[in-house]
Structure 1
Amino acid sequence: GIAFYGVNTLSETLDILRAQTLPPAAANTSEFSFHHIRHNEIKYYYDENYPLDFNDIKGQEHAKRSALIAAAGMHNLLLEGSPGSGKSMIAKRLRHIMPPLHNDELLECAKLEILEGKEPSFTPVRPFRSPHHSSTGASIFGGGTHKAQIGEVGLAHGGILFFDELPHFSKPVLEALREPLEDRHIRISRVNAKVTYDANFLFVAAMNPCPCGNLFNTAIPCRCSDVEIARYKSRLSDPFLDRIDLYVQMHPISSDDKPTVTSRELHEKVRQAFLRQKQRGQRQLNGALEDMEIARFCRLDEESQRTIDQAIGRFGLSFRAVSRVLKVARTIADIEGEEDICKGHLLEALSYRKR
């Protein structure tokens, strides 16, 4: 929405600034030319280029389903499986099936690219940040000696933050991540600056089931003892795991596995679910709903309420876990084109909880 006026000299600039009536703009960038869908006169832009396609992934239907749900509602996802099972492939392909962006979100993505020192691309593809597990806390959360510079968590705003080899990240980093996962912003305090950055991102993580990685592998025996496996998994605290909406175990592929779905097909389902959320009057996608919004948009019938009550007693679900189950069930219903959350949607959402 910015008008551009071309000038040759500083005098021409002063003449334009002094003038009561501005000349016609030489260029006007009021709209982007990308594919878009419209709701309430607002355009939401998306890209139909898929350099990384889900069609490259053979089998792993359960993981693909979870990826679809994660993208449609911006739900945090943890993939656990043997090396080579496709965890990173799924995470990297998620970026291209994310919900569309409106004009302001596109500009926010461009500002983040400028903060990182890049030339802004102005494309409707959400950010994808993947810090290495050896990264320092300052590089992930932001900071610095004098300035409160933005880190990976802030740069992932509106997009995906991917932690590969999750248990290898330091304990302080994983525990500090709990705040932005819950509050969706990150506060950085320094002597000369105190800054709050927005951090509303989709958190995706991948991990092996054990130190050697072969616990789920039927062809290669696991070399780890029970103590080593317990120590490996104990690096992830229960409060941290409570903030994960979708937990999926992935098993090694077999020769019978075939590609079953393309990114284009998944992206279409994400856009339809996105429209249903907007048509209900939601400001945020399902994964970011507040408590009052959950009560409004995630209402349950008597049968579904009995189901969630039984799950609370059986699995010891916390209040946060129940809220996240309801939000995931809402997204599953949106993907299926259902107005109400049914028992089947709730059972599927419960199946993704880590127990």
Structure 2
Amino acid sequence: MIDRVKSALLVNNFKFPPLKITVNLSPSEISKKGTHFDLAIALQIALFDEQKLKFDDFYFFGELALDGSIKDTTLIFPMVLSLVKQGLLKKVVVCENSAIKLSNIPNIEIYVVNNLNSAIEFVKTENKERFLYKKEILEYKTIELNGEKYFYDTNYTEDFRYVLGQDMAKYAAMICTAGNHNLIMEGSPGCGKSMIAKRLQYILAPMSLEEILEKAKLQALDFKDVDFYPIRAFRSPHHTATKSSILGGTNSKMGEVALSNNGILFFDELPHFPSNIIEALREPLEDNKILISRVNSKVLYETKFIFVSALNPCPCGNRLSSVKECRCNELEIQRYKNRLSEPFLDRIDLYLVMNDSFNDNKNIVSSAELHESVIKAFIKQKSRGQKELNGKLSDEDIKKYCILDDESKEILEKARINYSLSFRSINKVLKVARTIADLNNNDIITKSDLLKSLNFRRR
């Protein structure tokens, strides 16, 4: 860092005084690293004797090349976004590449300087308006509800029209995306489980600007190219992934559960994941957050993802097949099933058993049609004043929004006794029934809505 700053200053005709230079990055107890400090350090050195200059209102971020040009870094966007959310930053000075990303953040002024000389000129001049960057506006389809805009896209890279048969699975997929419900699909290899899972992200609910910025921040922290598309994240770790890569590791590094926030976390071949990873998912699935504790730090991450997984009915996969014979004995099947504990399965909203029949291809439904239904259900939920979609409702909100008619109350009580439903299971049933009611445009949960919800419970 020091060599880059020194080279940039020398190239721009700065003469170092015969003094020792000490740079203080406060507070000292917090570990700091990154090339985004270069520009601020260079300006402090270049302007150390300019006592009249004051630029406390401005934040400077940028990496310096050896010739004094300013570059973008992956950490600038998440840092600026975090400072804006805390109300600490209103004016920022960066290079043009950084400004393009930052322009989507509301309530800040962005000034562009592309080299060190330009930055020095910016500090010294009184006419700073000529450095002001014109902010861009996201150009996607929008819905405005309760004074807030929600964005969505209608380019379906993976379309449900190519999923043959599986009408019940498509219906479950629509419920899953309309209410942010966790989904497990059980079926023989090749019946369409993974195919359906990969299409879910394109029919998810519209995104608020805050959610789009959060997704971009997570992309930057994962060292990926930042985009501002209103398509939610889809993370699909392999079953050989380590526990730290999924839950978070050393130095409180983000894992897959945090990187999939507001999106989908997909586990293919679920029983092949180590049991300690599966059981560790219980907390983020229940509380929608995860605390990563290490010796020197504790970091809390939001985990409001939709958990989607696929599994075979037995080790060989042919137990539900209509054309192949299962080679597993009962002990092997039971051992395979026991890899998933009851407390974990209790956190799953929708459990679907799929067949391998593709004879019924008449009811072809496209992603556009499914997405339209999801958006209508989304509007209904937000119009009720819900901050969260049905799948993430708190216990208090369940009582407020999941209202049953008299006949449905009797059915739910019978189901509780006959199926030995836990308190959590009852809440899951109610939340799924609320989403089904929204898809049917019902103000309260009817008998039909509740029965459909109970049909998706694991038996």
Would you say same fold, with TM above 0.5? yes
For structure 1, which segment, 300-309 or 9-18, has the greater mean C-alpha deviation from structure 2 after superposition?
A: 9-18
Distance 1:270 1:18, change over 3 A: farther
Distance 1:256 1:280, change over 3 A: closer
Identity of aligned residues (%): 51
Q: State the Cα distance separating 1:4 from its structure 2 match.
A: 3.0
1:27 corresponds to 2:134: yes
Q: Is the 8 A contact 1:43 1:102 kept in 2?
A: yes
Mind listing any 5+ residue stretches in structure 2 that lack a counterpart?
1-105
1:214 corresponds to 2:321: no
Partner of 1:241: 345
The 3-state SS of whatever aligns with 2:431 is helix
Mind listing any 5+ residue stretches in structure 1 that lack a counterpart?
none
Partner of 2:453: 349
In the TM superposition, what are the counterparts of 1:268-307 in structure 2 within 5 Å? 268-307=372-411
* Aligned mates of 2:360, 2:454 — CA distance in 1: 29
Partner of 1:130: 236
Distance 1:20 1:234, change over 3 A: same
AA matched with 2:286? E
Q: State the Cα distance separating 1:150 from its structure 2 match.
A: 0.2
Partner of 1:63: 169
Q: State the Cα distance separating 1:160 from its structure 2 match.
A: 0.2
Partner of 1:104: 210
Q: Deviations over 1:245-281 (max 9, x none)?
A: 0011110023443451000011111111111110000
The 3-state SS of whatever aligns with 1:23 is helix
Q: Is the 8 A contact 1:97 1:270 kept in 2?
A: yes
1:95 corresponds to 2:201: yes
In the TM superposition, what are the counterparts of 1:48-197 in structure 2 within 5 Å? 48-144=154-250, 147-197=251-301
Q: Is the 8 A contact 1:185 1:196 kept in 2?
A: yes
Q: State the Cα distance separating 1:6 from its structure 2 match.
A: 3.0
Distance 1:38 1:216, change over 3 A: same
RMSD: 1.5
Distance 1:18 1:186, change over 3 A: farther
AA matched with 1:245? D
AA matched with 2:337? K
Q: Is the 8 A contact 2:165 2:359 kept in 1?
A: no
Q: Is the 8 A contact 1:83 1:208 kept in 2?
A: yes
The 3-state SS of whatever aligns with 1:158 is coil
Q: Is the 8 A contact 1:56 1:259 kept in 2?
A: no
* Aligned mates of 1:295, 1:19 — CA distance in 2: 60
The structure number with the bigger radius of gyration is 2
* Aligned mates of 2:359, 2:269 — CA distance in 1: 26
Partner of 1:254: 358
1:337 corresponds to 2:441: yes
Distance 1:228 1:301, change over 3 A: same
For structure 1, which segment, 160-169 or 190-199, has the greater mean C-alpha deviation from structure 2 after superposition?
A: 190-199
The 3-state SS of whatever aligns with 1:167 is helix
Q: Deviations over 1:298-340 (max 9, x none)?
A: 0112111111000000000000000010000000011111111
Partner of 1:6: 112
The 3-state SS of whatever aligns with 1:276 is helix
AA matched with 1:295? K
The 3-state SS of whatever aligns with 1:162 is strand
AA matched with 2:301? Y
Q: Deviations over 1:204-232 (max 9, x none)?
A: 01000011111111211111101111110
Q: State the Cα distance separating 1:10 from its structure 2 match.
A: 4.2
Aligned equivalent of 2:331, options 217, 227, 239: 227
Aligned length: 352
